[in-house]
Chain A
Amino acid sequence: MTHLLNIENLHVAIQGEEILKGLNLKIKAGEVHAIMGPNGAGKSTLASTLAGRESFEVLEGTVRYQDEDLLALDAHERAAKGIFLGFQYPTEIPGVSNLNFLRTALNAQRRQRGEAEMDGGTFMKLAREKAQNLGISIEMLKRFVNVGFSGGEKKRNEMMQMAVLNPTLAILDETDSGLDIDALKVVSDGINALRSADKAILLITHYQRLLDYVTPDHVHVLADGKIVRSGGPELAHELEEKGYQAVA
């Protein structure tokens, strides 16, 4: 298999307005890519499109994932095939505990893959282990999904979900924003724990500092709906010094 993810000439519109304007990106298994770019460039639009947000309209282009037409799949099918989106703004679901949400999600994915559902005991063991690694208390797992969570708690909760769901392609949309340095370290450890030869990670970030902990193989600059420059980790440093305007 050549690429885990292959995006060619992707054009996406939101409510009739074209946001992505011919984006190309190839990611191989084992790689970590970082996308940086100014606010409003279309980074979250790309992330949501890959995860299958229905209201985003693909005007043109192809996306292949594991040699399959990704755009033909519904969001929940993509999740079952190993795509995970760490949301920039995780959504609140009042009345649903984190544990219940996570177990329902995990078993929904397993069902789709034809695997047996995970029983309560096994799930709790898994959840405890992952929570401990991320410094998440059992109390927090019992709270309603993202309700009343601080910005940092929400991001850590996304990492918790990622750890339990164990995706093949993780797209992390500004998971580092709003984290203090300790939380950033915990989150970085979580991301690094997922790194392996058969998985890939797409980091969307504004800041060099995450990339100090999670070293990317490739860095891309997204501006006005397109990848305008690609390079190695050094590109992130250049961006930090000179700003997007100069680099793009």
Chain B
Amino acid sequence: MVATAETKTQIDELTGTYKHGWSSDIESDFAPKGLNEEVIRFISAKKDEPQWMLDWRLKAYAMWQKMEEPDWAMISHPPIDYQDIYFYAAPKQKDGPKSLDEVDPELLRTYEKLGIPLAEQEVLAGVEGAPRIAVDAVFDSVSVATTFRKELEKAGVIFLSISEALRTYPELVRKYLGSVVPQRDNYFATLNCAVFSDGTFVYIPKGVRCPMELSTYFRINAENTGQFERTLIIADEGSYVSYLEGCTAPMRDENQLHAAVVELVALDDAEIKYSTVQNWYPGDKNGKGGIYNFVTKRGACRGKRSKISWTQVETGSAITWKYPSCILEGDHSVGEFYSVAVTNNHQQADTGTKMIHIGNHTRSKIISKGISAGQSNNTYRGLVRVMGGAEDVRNFTQCDSLLLGDRCGAHTVPYIEVKNPTAQIEHEATTSKISDDQMFYCMARGLDAEEAVAMVVNGFAKDVMKELPMEFAVEAQKLLGISLEGSVG
């Protein structure tokens, strides 16, 4: 498979020039580039949303116009031109890759190593004519999905695209949407409120243990969700759900800017386990292209003894700006954050968590493993806040950085705010390098340099990887190794 130089297609080039005339006709599939009220009305009408939803979007848009992009994260990028972005269903570009021959060969090598069949590679790489509903098509799972849905219905679990949920369960959505991440929360979240395209809605009824892991793989009727995705998961009293998001295969997307919002609500004695493998296109070796991923993820432990657990493996994107957080309102509620973030080449990641302790006897645990290689920058940024009224709070934070080579950076920025003297806060941080001794030891046993790095890195990330559901764990392990290829000589 030979690829020419210009086939190293850059995502920003892919958003090229669409000449289709603008029409606010609901039959149209596309909104033009740029953002204004009319585009928002179009999105809302397209989804046949209730009036309150449109008003909510417009209110967010009005707020957003007065807001500034945050600049406190340890990342840098050229200014984003919001008038040069498709906010709804960007049309398929004529200058997209026409076949796999035109796709970044590095990307194809990765697919091969992950053992992804050709047809699925086309979908992932965004080849012209390949089906657009990537994640669903990838697992070619119509029949699986049907059985799956039947079983969920039996259990009373609601698992729908958020557009569908707005039509079928508008009151439920209305009650919780924006209740964890307020509309005004931050620049990117507010933008998402105005323009979110689609996403997932999950409701687990009282006392129900969701009979299977819910995965975006199986969600149907959810096109174009990649860019401004909106997820809302509610676990009613005494219920349990484990949700998997993402895909280990690196996914290309024509849209460079991603700004998702995820809201989780756990009521009394409920537990939500949310696992992510994020592997969007990171850009090429020289740092060209790649996704900017500005995500707001937050869970509210509203109920007593409720628990929310975030596990993330972040290997993709040019920029990752992401702080899955827990608001521990209910007494005895528990928040956990397990994270592996890998940066290579010119990737930048500023990621971490916030644990806000409001209820008494609340517990939080943070395990963060940052791995930097190439010329990348990897920052852990975490806040542990204990409110004055919160008695007997405990937090444990373990923050480890592993460096490969000496041109990359690892930074740890912990914020600890304790307003109640009964709190016990523990913070441990380490920075280490893969040693020559470790490399030689592995290689003397038969592993090549890349296998040796993968071995040491997976060991380093073990405490987080073991939190992943089985479905993800094996692939995610492979992925760690692959993401770091070429990082040792």
Query: In the complex, A58→B64 CA distance in Å?
Result: 64
Contact (Cβ within 8 A) B448 A53: no
Residues of B within 8 A of A91 (CB): 435, 437-438, 440-441
Interface of B is mostly: helix
Cβ of B45 under 8 Å from chain A: no
Contact (Cβ within 8 A) A161 B445: yes
Contact (Cβ within 8 A) B444 A79: yes
Contact (Cβ within 8 A) A74 B456: no
Residues of B within 8 A of A101 (CB): 445, 455
How big is chain A's contact interface, by range?
20 to 34
Count how many pairs of residues, one from A and one from B, have CB atoms less than 8 Å apart in the complex.
83
Contact (Cβ within 8 A) B444 A95: no
Query: In the complex, A164→B366 CA distance in Å?
Result: 38
Cβ of A108 under 8 Å from chain B: yes
Cβ of A149 under 8 Å from chain B: no
Write out, one digit per residue, whether chain A residues 72-114 have a CB within 8 A of any chain B CB (1) or not (0): 0011101110001101001111111000010011101100100
Cβ of A123 under 8 Å from chain B: no
Residues of A within 8 A of B (CB): 48, 51-55, 74-76, 78-80, 84-85, 87, 90-96, 101, 104-106, 108-109, 112, 144-145, 161, 165
**Number of interface residues, chain B, beta carbon within 8 A:** 24
Contact (Cβ within 8 A) B446 A79: yes
Query: In the complex, A101→B435 CA distance in Å?
Result: 17
Cβ of B90 under 8 Å from chain A: no
Contact of A96 among B436, B446, B456, B463 (CB under 8 A): B456
The 8 residue pairs across chains A and B that have the minimum distance between CB atoms: A95-B459, A95-B462, A96-B459, A105-B445, A75-B443, A109-B446, A79-B446, A91-B441
Query: In the complex, A203→B291 CA distance in Å?
Result: 55
Contact (Cβ within 8 A) A105 B447: yes
Contact (Cβ within 8 A) B460 A94: yes
Residues of B within 8 A of A105 (CB): 442, 445-447
Residues of A within 8 A of B444 (CB): 51-53, 75-76, 78-79, 84-85, 87
Query: In the complex, A105→B436 CA distance in Å?
Result: 18
Residues of B within 8 A of A93 (CB): 438, 441-442, 455-456, 459
Contact (Cβ within 8 A) A96 B443: no
Contact (Cβ within 8 A) B447 A76: yes
Write out, one digit per residue, whether chain B residues 140-155 have a CB within 8 A of any chain A CB (1) or not (0): 0000000000000000
Which residues of chain B (419-451) have a CB below 8 Å from chain A?
Answer: 435-438, 440-449, 451
Q: Which residue of chain A has its CB nearest to the CB of B452?
A: A76
Contact (Cβ within 8 A) A80 B446: yes
Name the residue in B442, B448, B463 with the highest tally of chain A Cβ atoms < 10 Å from its Cβ: B442
